[in-house]
Structure 1
């Protein structure tokens, strides 16, 4: 008889994600180390870093566009 099991997806707060990304990008800790310390899969951390970098590019682009519009 087989018992169905479901893996429950963990939900992390925005602040937790921000701190994890900061450890990697600001403190320059290896993803593998942060993964072990925080018990978060390495691929999840790589995704968070990519999302942060994408958000940063969008933010900077919008800032540059608004700055160029105001100086025209």
Structure 2
């Protein structure tokens, strides 16, 4: 999955993966959960930005957990 093309459904799956990788209280996990639940363009944009700010290894691990 291309990191720049994460849709609302994928954000929900990524949030679950990040609970394991970063923890449930991590700001990126919280942002992804909010975006997956609300679906608002603002939340999705914020969650994408937060996800892209994660360390490369964390992003790759999360994407690997949800499958390509």
- TM-score (normalised: structure 1): 0.27
Greater RCO, 1 or 2 (C-alpha within 8 Å, sep 6+): 2
Higher helix share: 2
